[in-house]
Amino acid sequence: MNKCLRITLGKTVPEGFLRSFVQRHARKLDLEGAAQVTATDGEVRIDVCGPKDALESFLDLLHKGTAAYRPKEITVEPFLKEKDYRGVFRVIE
């Protein structure tokens, strides 16, 4: 059974992190959803859906981050899927 999570990262995410790390790992884990920097406060919001074990792996990867960037603030909450992501993970700019 698929679950959906809304993950919020802090405001200091380096350029390219969404595409090079978040999108790459979400697609590798066969997750669907979208990531974007919110217009109101500049935080990164990731809406992601998929099997529970894949979501847990994705969260583990986010917490570990990269050698150049490790998120300091990660908020995770369940949410109801608002739209059809058509089985793809996208970065919205």
| Rounded Cα distance, 50 and 42, in Å | 26
Q: Model-level pTM?
A: 0.90
- Name, in order, each residue with C-beta under 8 angstroms of 36's C-beta and a sequence gap of 6 or more: 18, 44, 45, 91, 92, 93
3-21 mean pLDDT: 87
User: pLDDT digits over 59-78, tens only?
Assistant: 999 999 888 888 888 999 99
Residue 93 has pLDDT above 90, yes or no: no
Distance, C-alpha 88 to centroid of its chain: 12
Token pair in block for residue 52: 């529970």
Q: How many CA atoms does the CB half-sphere of 68 hold within 13 Å? A: 8
pLDDT score at 66: 87
Residue 13 has pLDDT above 90, yes or no: no
Q: Which of the two residues, 31 and 9, has the higher pLDDT score?
A: 31
| Rounded Cα distance, 16 and 21, in Å | 8
What are the extents of the domains in the chain? 2-92
User: pLDDT digits over 24-62, tens only?
Assistant: 999 999 999 999 988 888 888 999 999 999 999 999 999
* Assigned fold of 2-92: Alpha-Beta Plaits (3.30.70)
Residue 12 has pLDDT above 90, yes or no: no
